[in-house]
Amino acid sequence: MNKLNVALIFGGKSGEHEVSLLSTASIYKHINKEKYNVFTIGITKDGKWMYYEGTEENIRNGKWVNLANLNVEINLVPMGNKEVGLLFEDGHIEKLDVLFPVLHGPYGEDGTIQGLFEISQIPYVGCGVLASSVGMDKLICKKVFTQLGLPQVNYTDTNRWVFNKESEKELDSIEDELNYPIFVKPANLGSSVGISKANDRKELLEGINEALKYDSRIVLEQGIDAREIEVAVLGNEDVKASIAGEIKPAKDFYDYEDKYINGTSTYEIPANIDSKSMEDIRNMAVKAFKGIDGKGLSRVDFFIDKKSGEIFINEINTLPGFTNISMYPKMWEATGLDYADLIDKLIDLALDSRK
């Protein structure tokens, strides 16, 4: 059987560049190289595309930038007589059967690069343009969830132009709508980058200023004393949800440092919740995924209020972390689908979506 040519595309311009390197190194290590010819295409922090051929360790530590082969031409846009694929120095072209983006955050998870993939007409892993852009934008996604009838904590929003013009008035308005603690989040980012928890007006101002470094639009959410529950979803038309897992943050919330650096938070899979809550959460995860027209994969995050037991959907991540400690593959592993088979399934779904 001929091997499929699969290109892992990693790095990128977003604040989650380093997360992408960790996820890609893990996928590269576990992908079945007897089934696939694996090509690796890195995108630098300033947006340069480079072909890299080497070890996963040099992907992980960022040294791939200095080891990239700049003589290999990457062409994903059909132009004139040029074939789409990788043009090597000896003149031969490697056509790509599947593109596997491992790009988190803006320019990778927000529909922009998915638009390029659509133009290339090469099947690709994950959600399409619409689902990616909606899933990435926390504010728009919340509005879609409202239309779907999915329960959420109270929230409001602001933006750079309004806040810079009349910050005191905006702070008053936020305090009128929400009680402390308040979570402050950039509208378009993931992996908890730029997110903070404000317990008073001073911290709220600091949190908004920090979030504005990453995006011009800010989401503010009512903080509740809650358990953090996550579910992995997989599929195109026939969508399945994994068993749910619970994050037990070492700090006030599960932040970037804990997700990808020190790993001091713990998790429990399956989550210690009653069977009805487990079923409700899995069903809501599938509903949210289908509601944004998701394809391939996503991780859907929930809160369970510790006092009332109410379940609230938090957000959907259309290209979740894929490191060896990431919840998405861990939850599928606990459900009966191991890491390598999960990669196979995602590639199959990418091919199926183009039929």
Q: Is 227 annotated as a binding residue?
A: yes
Rounded (5°) CA angle 31-99-28: 25
Q: Is 271 annotated as a binding residue?
A: no
Q: Is 228 annotated as a binding residue?
A: yes
- From the list 16, 18, 109, 170, the catalytic residue is 16
Do the beta carbons of residue 185 and residue 141 sit within 8 Å? Answer: no
Q: For the residues of 147-184, what is the DSSP string, one character each?
A: HHT-----EEEEEHHHHHH-HHHHHHHHHHH-PSSEEE
Q: Is 145 annotated as a binding residue?
A: no
β-bridge pairing 226-235 and 296-305: antiparallel
- From the list 196, 242, 265, 326, the catalytic residue is 326
Q: Is 191 annotated as a binding residue?
A: yes
Reply yes or no on whether 191 is catalytic: yes
Q: Is 173 annotated as a binding residue?
A: no
Q: Is 221 annotated as a binding residue?
A: yes
Q: Is 224 annotated as a binding residue?
A: yes
Reply yes or no on whether 326 is catalytic: yes
Q: Is 252 annotated as a binding residue?
A: no
Do the beta carbons of residue 311 and residue 301 sit within 8 Å? Answer: no
**Cα→Cα distances 32→20, 229, 254, 339, 352, Å:** 20, 31, 32, 10, 19
Residue 83 tokens, joined: 């074939």
- From the list 14, 20, 133, 191, the catalytic residue is 191
Q: Is 301 annotated as a binding residue?
A: yes
CA–CA dist 168, 162 (Å, integer) = 11
Reply yes or no on whether 14 is catalytic: no
Single out the residue of 298, 348, 290 nearest to residue 328, CA to CA: 298
Residue set of the binding site: 138, 183-185, 191-192, 221-228, 301, 314-315, 317
Residue set of the binding site for ATP: 138, 183-185, 191-192, 221-228, 314-315
- List, by residue number, the catalytic residues: 16, 191, 326
Residue set of the binding site for Mg(2+): 301, 315, 317
